[in-house]
Amino acid sequence: MRTTAIRLYGRNDLRLESFELPAITDDEILAKVVSDSICMSSYKAAHQGPDHKRIPDDVHNNPVIIGHEFSGEIIEVGANWKHKFHPGQKYSIQPAIYYPEGPVGILSAPGYSYPYIGGNATYVIIPKDVLVQDCLLPYDGQGYYPASLAEPLSCVIGAMHANYHTRPGSYVHEMEIVQGGKMAILAGVGPMGLAAINYVINRRDRKPSLLVITDIDQSRLDRAATIFPVGWAKENGIELVYMNTGNVSDPVGLLKSISGGEGYHDVFVFAPVPSVIEQGDAILAPDGCLNFFAGPSDPKFSAKMNFYNVHYASTHIVGTSGGNNDDLVEALDCMSKGLDPAGLITHIGGLNAVIETTLKLPEIQGGKKLIYTHKDLPLTAISDFAQLGASDPFYAELARITDKTRGLWSVEAEEFLLEHAPGIE
């Protein structure tokens, strides 16, 4: 099988190439990739090259396929896995396989460490490493983009599960956010913040009574409020507040007053910015847990923390990086029950757009950039469909379809794109 893929050779060295995949073994699966969502982690991997912990040292001689938020369809199944998988199945991948026998040991991951599997490809070989860890997960829902976004949603789910609390007189860690508590998500209207809002409001087993979302970009706050309205959150038992901390002189004071002066039991920081971390620390309630979600690139990155409160108020901090397999299973289950991650997506493109998009990702405004790997399309904002449609019937129809969902991507839009967009050569 011939594949076309984006391969990483070193720092900022990404190449669009076609090459032959080897025949699969009895312990491998041949799969078609349909969609891949570009993650900031891929940007970091591309800029760091072999210095990245998941990238092999010899990548300049043995390039890897990048992209780890992908979905597609199984084509051929090796003999040892025919009892579990079959051609035609749709799938999602948990890239954090934590497999010690992988190319870079325990940190090996599809989209970083392997020559024949990654999301930015037309066809891939799913290796034994993924299969023995149960990290190939069937997806029975509609469309493909929800399964691509299951991985980022699983990261949010893992973060929620990783928070912990104690009771007076006990040092036993009780895992999870506080039921009926007060939660703040700081710098919370980027792609991952939107995923967090979606998950928190959709949860049925546990949720806060107050959810405050902050950012300094009013347009992004307004978009978030349109996708996840305050009234919808109220119907689900949550008081939802959107707050622009860039417009107030004392954001900590205002955040505390919104909480009734108590502070927040669960605080999530979605930007690697010291001032935001310190703001999160300052609004913690007694026994409050701050989850530093955003991964910094600088290994010396640091911020101040109030250790008086650590000692006397039992405040604490955790950090999470990715979800585990159970989190991805939960993400897929959430989607099968109606959680639609379309609000995260702001741009659509083809495989030809991956290199520039990945290398310049922080400069491109908006949310998730969704790639259809068999297509040749420039990276295009959904909000630009109508303007482009004035001269291009393809975009005119996409504009008509997305207008029905208030400017959000949809299964109908995806199906139209897959049928009518030009193919990658």
Domains of the chain: 1-148+340-425 (3.90.180.10), 162-319 (3.40.50.720)
Pairing of strands 164-165, 239-244: unpaired
Q: What is the SS3 assignment for 116?
A: coil
**3-state SS assignment for residue 363:** helix
pLDDT digits (tens, 9 = 90+) for 342-374: 989 999 999 999 999 999 999 998 889 999 999
pLDDT, one tens digit per residue, over 256-286 is 999 999 999 999 999 999 999 999 999 999 9
**How many CB atoms are located within 10 Å of the residue 317 CB?**
18
Of 237, 347, 351, 368, the C-alpha closest to 6 is 351
14 beta partners: 8
Note the pLDDT of residue 236: 95
The two structure tokens encoding residue 7: 């391969």
**Mind listing the pLDDT tens digit for each residue in 293-325?**
988 878 899 999 999 999 999 999 999 887 888
CB 286 within 8 A of CB 311: no
Predicted pLDDT at 296: 86
Of 39, 228, 25, 203, the C-alpha closest to 131 is 25
Q: Give the pLDDT of residue 10.
A: 97
Of 163, 235, 252, the residue nearest 201 (C-alpha): 235
- Burial class of residue 300 (count of CB atoms within 10 Å of its CB; 0-12, 13-18, 19+): exposed
What are the structure tokens assigned to 296, written together? 């910094």
Query: Where does the pLDDT of residue 237 fall: very low under 50, low under 70, confident under 90, or very high at 90 and above?
Result: very high
DSSP notation for 400-420 = HHHHTTTT---HHHHHHHHHH
Instruction: Find the DSSP H helices in 301-392.
Output: 307-312, 325-336, 354-359, 385-389
pLDDT tens for residues 125-142? 999 999 999 999 999 889
Strands (E), 24-172: 29-38, 64-65, 70-77, 90-93, 123-126, 136-138, 164-165
E strands in 129-236: 136-138, 164-165, 174-175, 182-186, 210-215
Q: Which of 220, 191, 214, 199 minimizes the C-alpha distance to 280?
A: 214
| Residue 289: strand, helix, or coil | strand
| Higher per-residue confidence, 244 vs 140 | 244
Number of residues assigned to the chain:
425
Q: How far is CA 201 from the centre of its chain?
A: 17
Q: How does the average pLDDT of the chain come out, rounded?
A: 95
Q: How confident is the model at residue 392 (pLDDT cuts 50, 70, 90)?
A: very high
Residue corresponding to tokens 């720092």: 11
Residue 361 CA to residue 354 CA, distance in Å, equals: 10
Q: What is the DSSP letter of 104?
A: T
Q: Which residues of 128-141 are buried (b: 16+ CB within 10 A; e: fewer)?
A: bbbbeeebbbebeb
DSSP state letters, 5-44: EEEEEETTEEEEEEEEPPPP-TT-EEEEEEEEEE-HHHHH
Residue 416, both tokens: 């139209």
> Which DSSP helix (H) or strand (E) runs through 224?
helix 218-227
